[in-house]
Chain A
Amino acid sequence: MYAQLLTFGAAFLGSAVESVEALTIVLAVGLTRGWRAPLYGTVTALVLLGLLVAFFGQLIVTRVPDLTLKLIIGTLLVLFGLRWLHKAVLRSAGVVAMHDEDRAFQATVSSLQERRQARDWVGFTLALKGVFLEGLEVVFIVIAVGGTSRGLGVAVAGGILAMIVVAAIGLVVRKPLAMVPENTLKYAVGVVLTSIGTFWAAEGMGVAWPLDFVSIAILLAVYLAASRAAIALIRRPAPA
């Protein structure tokens, strides 16, 4: 139950963050050039992403031995999670600018206005590319957390639910979801994925954790404390 909740939560949060970024692109294209082309682009991207999940998800669940799977996916999750955590720490400490959906929206709109003379496939391609590239991270998270915990269905459900929630909110407000605390979400997902990754990587190395899944809570505390320490060290004024 604990593992299933963690799987669902990680897939939901990861998918929510990326869906917000994809929504900004689709909204910018739709509001600038009309809705037909970006919607076709979005649907095509979602079908491609669904095929990737179905193909790789089934492949790793049915073909790869359990320990090898845990070692490989655990290692990749650690790399992936640490990258998100690294960026979130630098953003929280003020070294890197926060991701701003309003600015991303304006940048996409102005790039489209410069190309107004081009044919409508520009809108299709931009939406397809935006949704597909943002979705690749969701595909990885879903396959990694779902495949290794044998809860692919739960992870897929978490990913899809987040996408539906974000799309529904976007449909209602019809503007970028700038109020979503993206950095905080990425920070949280980074901590969770790094912890899960470490847990599985060590299991793949042939070690059983002292308290089994409960050890993930200790790992969460370790990575959270490390990232807070990093933020505090970065914010500390340099000696004169």
Chain B
Amino acid sequence: MKFVRAAAEEVIGLFVGDWSQTAITVVLLAAGWLVLSRLHVSGLSFLLALALAVQLVFATVAEARRARRKEATSQR
């Protein structure tokens, strides 16, 4: 049972590290799907990639700030 639970956690963990980042990524992809599947403009797909890239920058910088704040609080 432990093994099955560990495997299930591993499978979820393949795609989800931070739930908020995952949610934002899914929202961006869903928005991209809504727009691209209707307009079929090829260059627009690069906008989707840019949005995902910007999201990566924001998510990592925010997590780094959280980690530093936590570290500073624990050192006090």
Bound-state CA distance A76–B25 (Å) is 11
Q: Which residues of B contact A229 (CB under 8 A)?
A: 57
- Chain A residues whose C-beta falls within 8 Å of the C-beta of B46 in the assembled complex: 215, 218, 222
How many Å from the CB of B76 to the closest CB on chain A?
16
Interface residues on A, range: 35 or more
Question: Closest approach, in angstroms, between the C-beta of B8 and any C-beta of chain A?
Answer: 10
Name the contact of B37 in the complex, choosing from A76, A125, A205 (C-beta under 8 A). Answer: A205
Given A226-B53, A227-B56, A233-B57, A207 and B40 contact (CB-CB distance below 8 Å): yes
A contacts with B: majority SS: helix
CA distance A3 to B68 in the complex (A): 41
List of B residues within 8 angstroms of A208 by Cβ: 42
Set of chain A residues within 8 Å of B41, measured between Cβ atoms? 207
Interface size on B, residues (CB 8 A): 41
Known: A86-B21, A133-B7. A95 touches B45 (CB 8 A): no
Question: Which of A27-35, A77-85, A99-107, A171-179 faces chain B?
Answer: A77-85
Please indicate the chain B residues that have their CB under 8 angstroms from the CB of A96 in the complex. 67
Would B42 and A80 count as touching, CB distance under 8 A? no
A234 touches B53 (CB 8 A): no
Looking at the assembled complex, report how far the CB atom of A89 sits from the nearest CB atom of chain B, in whole angstroms.
5
Residues of B within 8 A of A (CB): 3, 6-7, 10-11, 14-18, 21-22, 25-26, 29, 32-33, 36-37, 40-46, 48-50, 52-54, 56-57, 59-61, 63-64, 67-68
User: A residues within 8 Å of B by Cβ?
Assistant: 71, 75-76, 78-80, 82-83, 85-87, 89-90, 93, 95-96, 125, 129, 132-133, 136-137, 140, 194, 198, 201-202, 205-210, 215, 218-219, 222-223, 225-227, 229-230, 233-234, 238
List 11 A–B pairs whose Cβ atoms lie within 8 Å, in order of A's numbering: A79-B15, A79-B22, A86-B18, A86-B21, A89-B56, A198-B45, A198-B48, A202-B48, A207-B40, A207-B45, A230-B56
